[in-house]
Structure 1
Amino acid sequence: MIETTTLLNTVIEALSEGLPFDGLARILWIGGPAAPATLISILPTPRRPWIVEAEEVLAWLERGDVRRAKLRLPGYMLRVEEDVSQSDRESRDRNWKRIAGLVETGVPGEIFAEGAMGALVARHAAATKTQRKTLYRLLYRYWMFGQIRNALLPNYENAGGPGKDRVFAPGKRPGRPPVHAAPVGERCGKVLGEDDKGFIRVGYSLYRNNEVGSIADAYHRTLRRFYVLEHVVPGASADDLTLKPLDQLPSQRQFSYWGKKAFDDLLVHRSRVGERRWQKDHRGLTGRAADGVYGPGHRFEIDATIADIYLVSRYNRNWVIGRPVVYVVIDVFSTMIVGIFVGLEGPSWNGARHALFNAFSDKVAFCSAYGVEIEPSAWPSHHLPHELMADRGEMLGQAAEGIVSGLGIDITIAPPFRPDWKSIVESRFRLLNKTAQIHWIPGAVRQRIAERGERDYRLDAILDLEEFTRIMIRSVLHYNHHSRRPERLTADMIGEELEPSPVNLWRWGMERGLSTPNTQPENLVYLHLLPRENASIQRGGICFKGMYYSCALAVEENWFARARRDGRRSVTVWYDPNDTTHVWLQDPQRNFIRCDLLASEERVAGRRLEEVLDMLGMTGTPTTENAYAALNDRVRLDAHIDAAVGQARIDKRAAKPSTPVPDSRQLGNIRMHRAFEKAAERHRASNTSPVGGADSAGSPVPAAATPGVVDTYAGERGAEVLDLLGRLRNRGNRT
């Protein structure tokens, strides 16, 4: 059995027909099971309460004809006392004093007795000098909304007719009075009709569709199209357009007001900025980038940016090599930077694969190559992810798709012009720039346009690629250990008082088993991520990009000796662009064999591939001045050779004997002629020696050496022959 006292002030809802009310009603008073109950229907326009037997109300509830319900209170009542203004508070208290004598009587429920309400309200109205309809209006509102005092607060929710257009009296101008009074008999401004509002919608659509630059431009277009006087003279020029009088034109304020009422402001903004910019910069944000990521190594994001700094070459500090490209790989769960690559390769797969290889490999050896010594726990990432988010330019292609099947990584390509899909890695570039203080390093790109006479900032470049990479490595380590991410803390992390740095979040996830490692053999990582190109096996080694390597397999199988006999042949090698010290090739069983740089290639040992290629390109091509000097000297050499050959022909014709000498005789005594020439050269050398052998007059001293050769060749007149040769030589020198 339902207790009647629990039904006081309860709202019930009618569920069946045949009841004395429809919809909702509130039980204002119920004295007992045998006493009558007073109810009031809850309607927009309240009506007088009515009486029914309490037993009948209980029967409704037991049969299921009605059920208990909840009434949503109006908005003006849903305010705490601090939010109620002083004027509203005074109005409420004033209304309460008007009806307090009716609802707070000595006999509870006295006003609800049959036939008592009218007499009590009449006496109270006379005593308080208040109209009875005012008392009834306040009583009905008080009873209908739960018999609480805040029901008597002023209700301004529907004041002014929200959503309804105002209707002005004919000739009445809406809005504030004009600043300048209109001439007598004229009105300033226009009361807009439905035609005017239609014209405004057409004109404002120009602004919405981004066909004009501003609302003012759309307003001017609207006036030109709809509010121009018609020309009396046929064929008049468009330059002679005349607007209608001012009192027949909508103002720009009216145009803007009614245009904004006709179009939703967000739709206008979306249409003007375009769908791409709206989705990227202006759409509502729901959820986080880490939603759906269960632990470290689940999803990586990769992106590249061109650093705002110019670098120089390690081979020659005067060679400016341009701005480097920085690739960053981020773990979404912990926001830790798990891989980095600094190079000269533009944003593409060839550059991205180096960053991925760095992310999947041990960081101790990588940092040590750049002079940064760390413990394995300082940068503990060397894992393959299950998912990879990247740009189209970096991951589209057959080579990139190979890592899906070869390494078991699912690739997600961000749509064009949507960097917000990779929000984690995109925001890390800004933090790295700030941490590395790039914009304060000499050679940094300046944001403002250089003024006339200002020094070109590219000339101030002082860092080379290795030094800049070292700075980036230390900046990454600082970020991983000291960048706080408190929004990533879970309840368990907070309970353990975990410091929310990226490296701590990574370790916490690994220790709790939140990550399922994607473990792949090292050979597969080499195969799919290291770039490969053809090299040639030559007699001096395995030649790759002008550098020579060797390995134990090549020595055992005599590759270089076979190349010397049979000629060079091609072989595929895998290389690490960060270090030219080693390359890799596959043996017949497809195992990777490391090839080491030859000792003679010390000039390229430990260098980046880009630097080596730049050096070989710069040193292999002469400068313009050297090329011109070499060309000039070659022309002079050719001229000198032609002159010497021409003079030799003349001398030979002059020395030609009158009687022809047979060819067999000229060629038959070559050995004897050579011996004589050798003896003559020795004689000349002894005469021109700075330690003696010539007298004060400069005449040659007769040679005592090699008498047999001279006698054999010239007989008794050998001395005369030597003297003749000496004179001929001296004459040639003077010539």
Structure 2
Amino acid sequence: MDNTTAILNTVIEALSDQLPFEGMARILWIDEHAGLTTFITIAETPRKPWIVASEDVQMWLLRGDARRSEFRLPAYMLRVEEDIPEGERVLRDRNWERIAGLVDTAVPGEIFVAGAMGALVALHAEATAAQRKTLYRLLYRYWTFGQIRNALLPDYENVGAPGKPRVFSTGKRPGRPPKHLAKSGERCGKILGDDDKGFIKIGYSLYRNNEVASVTDAYHRTLRRFYVEEHVVPGGSADDLTLKPLDQLPSLRQFSYWGRKAFDDLTILRSRAGERRWQKDHRGLTGRANDGVYGPCHRFEIDATIADIYLVSRYNRNWVIGRPVIYVVVDVFSTMIVGIFVGLEGPGWNGARHALFNAFTDKVAFCRTYGIEIEASAWPSHHLPQELMADRGEMLGQAAEGIVSGLGIDIAIAPPFRPDWKAIVESRFRLLNKTSQIHWIPGAVRERIAERGERDYRLDAVLDLAEFTNIMISSVLHYNYHSRRPDRLTADMIREGLEPSPVNLWRWGIENGLAAPNTQPDDLVYLHLLPRDTASIQRGGICFKGMYYTCAYAIQQNWFARARKDGRRSVTVWYDPNDTAHVWLQDDLRNFVRCDLLASEKRVAQRRLEEVLDMLDMIGKPTAENTYATLNDKIRLDAHIGAVVEQAQFEKRAAQPATPVPVSRQAADIKTHRAFERAAEQRRSVVTSPVAEQHTTSSSATAPPSSSVVEAYAGERGGEVLSLLGRLRNKGNRP
């Protein structure tokens, strides 16, 4: 994006003292008709939003008095939805309800009209019984941090000891004093240990799984199973069970507290209600689906379909891996395909997030991964929308809800059996099938049922996942440039003679100010859309799914040396399933750090994650023939070892002398016997040598005694004595 372009949510940094602000300021609203832009300063105590002429902003950027900048969001906002505690989510939603009437108004930007903010806040405060200073504080925080709901989270980042269990005094029971009294008159109440918490988790799962009617019933089941006295006589009747003393039992309050702590409330509700009732009565429908689309990036639609073709593995062309799933993201205004993902998983959120990540990021590197070189202008979409229309299947659960509060995207859920609500993306599948000619590729699914004796079309599959993705990308580029949409032309477009292709409609909307892209930092996009999993820090690198990675941050922190000393530990990584070359992790400040694949991992380089996992699974399992051969050879080896040992035992028994040798003498002669055996082995090796056989006769008469034999019969210094005698004899024979 051009550095001289100012759009909604852009952060401007002042470079000159001639500007009406210092430091950084964020654009809150742009009034195109009046030519006015509303700013708010980014400071610990921001001042009231102020208005300047849009022309002045453009002049600041052109002259270099100001520049577009990036503002690092606080760490407490960089969390996905499931990582935010329930209490903080409640506070955030409560704060949002307080200001929603001021932000989400019938007339967009009404609060930014000159002189209107004070009156609107005063009326809203009177209507909601809230203090005006509270509303101003929440509004300023919401505007300063990018107009996303997570800006209203409480800042507990540096408060207390997050993630660390509390340590209580020995023998002191936490919580309020119990109401019941023990027989001795002292207040009773069990101090729960790890075993008790484990028992409570097991018992509470009965309530979660709807196996009992209430929490009290689950509590009684838990007491009956884990807190009864053992029978003195084994095999006693179950009718005379006796509970342990009261001071050894968890209370119902403790059971309920630790049970709720072990299981999420939504998980409990979903499990007890059943999937069908959950979908019908309890699932949250966040966002809105307003009629009318104003320009590019206003609304995206996403859907998935199973391709009518079978693929093979890139590692072995004889491995048929089944039919891929194609995810497509379409801009409703221009009908341009802004994102695509071809995978083996889904349809579901885990595949949809990859398509959304592709839609929100640059396409040059993505196309290069599959051997297609393009310019950035050839596929110009890398923006976040304001609204997203999807099926229930793609957008279920807190993970999808996280893009609402984390990325500021409103989700509109299409009702069941109503594909016409997503007519744009549904029709794109038919066009892609026609453009890519899938039904004429070997391995394609035939429309008619195969007759008896006819060849199975699945065996004709020839394309792997990367080759098929290459075809789909090429088909998308062809569609974006050459599919004509004359029904989308407006009077202004017709006046300018615009060719109604999707990419031209997109560019026209961007250039004429109809676009309303949702600008968010890359870290937020990575955090909420890239899938994450657990990796292992080992001495050889960061091991993820059997692949090893490294990065400068891990080396600086001595992760690998510490793993070699203290053992392995886990770390959360984010990964792109399209490319195994990199994974990402967060440092202490929650900045994303890229980790690169080790050079030794050549077999998985430039491969997709599904292909690598399939390959590792295939080579990790031996064939049935190999398993049988290994087992058969092991049986033969055991039999051979047994026969050799049995023969040796027989020969030892036959060689026993008539008079048994004392045990002490046998142990004392080990060193002598070892020396003799070593000398015999040396003489045996000399005799069996081809060179030695030629000189055996000539050298046998004059060969000195073996040093090993000398050691065996003359002691440790026998060799030195004989050597000295030999030198004296040679000296006496001199003339």
TM surpasses 0.5: yes
Q: Contact 1:687–1:694 at 8 Å: present in 2 too? A: no
How has the CA–CA distance of structure 1 residues 659 and 557 changed in structure 2, closer, same or farther, with 3 Å as cutoff?
farther
Q: 1:651–1:509: structure 2 CA closer, same or farther, 3 Å change rule?
A: same
Deviation at 1:692, TM superposition (A): 5.3
Counterpart mapping for 1:139-218 below 5 A: none
After TM superposition, give the deviation of residue 564 of structure 1 in Å: 1.5
Residue number in structure 1 paired with 2:307 = 307
Q: Structure 1 residues 670 and 566 mapped into 2: Cα distance closer, same or farther (>3 Å)? A: farther
Which structure has the higher relative contact order (CA within 8 Å, separation 6+)? 2
Change (3 A) 1:515 1:688: same
Number of the residue aligned with 1:437: 437
CA deviations over 1:553-599 (Å, ceiling 9, x no partner): 21112111211221111110101101111111111110111111112
Task: Write out aligned runs for 1:230-629 (5 A).
Answer: 292-629=292-629
Corresponding position: 1:638 with 2:638: yes
Question: Residues 81-103 of structure 1: CA distance to partner in whole angstroms, max 9, x if unpaired?
Answer: xxxxxxxxxxxxxxxxxxxxxxx
Counterpart code for 1:308: D
Whether 2:687 is the aligned partner of 1:709: answer no
Amino acid paired to 2:462: I
* Aligned partners of 2:438 and 2:444 also within 8 Å: yes
Measured after TM superposition, the shift of residue 647 of structure 1 is 1.8
Equivalent residues in 2 for 1:113-124, closer than 5 Å: none
Against the structure 1 CA distance between its residues 644 and 305, is the aligned structure 2 distance closer, same or farther, given a 3 Å change threshold? same
Taking the aligned partners of 1:581 and 1:658, their CA distance within structure 2 comes to 76
Where does structure 2 lack aligned partners over 5 or more consecutive residues?
1-288, 719-735
Q: Secondary structure at the match of 2:335?
A: coil
After TM superposition, give the deviation of residue 451 of structure 1 in Å: 1.0
The Cα offsets for residues 314-371 of structure 1, whole Å up to 9 and x where unpaired, read as: 1111111111111000000000000000010120110000000000010001001111
Determine the C-alpha separation between the residues in 1 that align with 2:510 and 2:494. Answer: 17
1:664–1:587 distance in 2 versus 1, CA, 3 Å: farther
Instruction: Compute the displacement of 1:312 (Å).
Output: 0.6
Matched residue type, 1:574: W
Amino acid at match of 1:447: E
Q: CA–CA distance in 2 between the matches of 1:322 and 1:705?
A: 78
SS of the residue 2:575 aligns to: strand
Give the direction of change, closer, same or farther, for the CA distance of 1:713–1:382 in structure 2 (3 Å limit).
same
2:689 matched to which residue of 1?
A: 689
Could you tell me how far apart the structure 1 residues matched to 2:458 and 2:385 are?
A: 39
* d(CA) in 2 for partners of 1:701, 1:311: 75
Structure 2 Cα separation of the partners of residues 473 and 381 of structure 1? 14
Is residue 563–residue 569 contact of structure 2 (8 Å, CA) maintained in 1?
yes
Q: Distance in 1 between matches of 2:547 and 2:585?
A: 15
Q: Read off the aligned partner of 1:531 and give its amino acid letter.
A: P
| Contact 2:391 2:413 (8 Å CA) reproduced | yes
Q: Note if contact 2:678-2:708 (Cα within 8 Å) is conserved in structure 1.
A: no
* Alpha-carbon shift at residue 396 of structure 1 (Å): 1.1
- The answer to whether the Cα contact below 8 Å between 1:370 and 1:470 also exists between their aligned partners in 2 is yes
Matched AA of 2:363: K
Query: Does the residue aligned with 1:630 lie in a helix, a strand or coil?
Result: helix
- Distance in 2 between the 1:447 and 1:593 partners? 48
Would the aligned equivalents of 1:290 and 1:333 in 2 still touch at CA under 8 Å? no
Distance in 1, matches of 2:587 and 2:356, equals: 25
Q: Classify 1:358/1:692 alpha carbon distance in 2 versus 1 (closer, same or farther; 3 Å).
A: same
Structure 1 residue 713 displacement after superposition: 2.0
Report the 3-state secondary structure (helix = DSSP H, G, I; strand = E; otherwise coil) of the residue aligned with 1:398: helix
State how 1:9-28 maps to structure 2 within 5 Å.
none
Tell me the alpha carbon deviations over residues 466-487 of structure 1, each in whole angstroms, 9 at most, x when there is no partner.
0000010100000000000000
- The answer (yes or no) to whether the contact 1:693–1:701 under 8 Å persists in 2 is no
SS of residue in 2 equivalent to 1:583: strand
Q: CA deviation at 1:671?
A: 4.8
Instruction: Kindly indicate whether the alpha-carbon contact (under 8 Å) linking 1:327 and 1:355 is maintained by their aligned counterparts in 2.
Output: yes
Q: Residues 565 and 655 of structure 1: is their aligned pair in 2 closer, same or farther, counting only changes over 3 Å? A: farther
Opposite residue 401 of structure 2, the aligned amino acid is E
TM normalised by structure 1 equals: 0.56
Q: Deviations over 1:256-280 (max 9, x none)?
A: xxxxxxxxxxxxxxxxxxxxxxxxx
1:645 Cα deviation after fit = 1.8
Q: Please report how far the alpha carbon of residue 631 of structure 1 lies from its aligned counterpart in structure 2 after TM superposition.
A: 1.0
Rounded to whole Å, the distance in 1 between the matches of 2:572 and 2:474 is 35
Specify the code of the residue in structure 2 equivalent to 1:626: N
The separation in 2 between residues aligned to 1:369 and 1:657, in whole angstroms, is 80
Distance 1:664 1:591 in 2: 72
Whole-angstrom CA distance in 2 between matches of 1:360 and 1:705: 88
Q: In structure 2, what is the Cα distance between the partners aligned to 1:460 and 1:552?
A: 46
Q: Deviations over 1:437-496 (max 9, x none)?
A: 111111111111111111111111111000000010100000000000000000000000
Counterpart of 1:611 in 2: which secondary structure? helix
In the alignment, the residues of structure 2 paired with residue 484 and residue 353 of structure 1 have an alpha-carbon distance, to the nearest angstrom, of 29
TM-score, normalised via structure 2 length: 0.56
Q: How many angstroms apart in 1 are the aligned matches of 2:554 and 2:470? A: 35
- Counterparts of 2:536 and 2:554, CA distance in 1: 12
**Aligned CA distance change for structure 1 residues 332 and 714 (closer, same or farther; 3 Å):** same
1:212-269 CA-partner distances (Å, limit 9, x unpaired): xxxxxxxxxxxxxxxxxxxxxxxxxxxxxxxxxxxxxxxxxxxxxxxxxxxxxxxxxx
Tell me the secondary structure at the aligned position of residue 683 of structure 1.
helix
Structure 2 counterpart of 1:713, one-letter code: A
Q: C-alpha separation between the residues in 2 aligned to 1:703 and 1:606? A: 71
Contact kept in structure 2, 1:308 and 1:444, CA below 8 Å: yes
How far 1:541 sits from its partner (Å)? 1.2
1:650 is displaced (CA, Å) by 1.8
In structure 1, what is the Cα distance between the partners aligned to 2:611 and 2:439? 24
Amino acid at match of 1:711: V
Gaps of 5+ in 1: 1-288, 719-735
CA distances 1:485-538 after superposition (whole Å, capped 9, x unpaired): 000000000000000000000000000010122010000001000000111111
Query: How far does residue 651 in structure 1 lie from its aligned partner after superposition?
Result: 2.4
Given that residues 309 and 445 in structure 1 are in contact (C-alpha distance below 8 angstroms), is that contact kept between their aligned partners in structure 2?
A: yes
The alpha carbon displacement at 1:701 in A equals 7.8
Paired amino acid for 2:590 = R
- Identity score, percent: 78
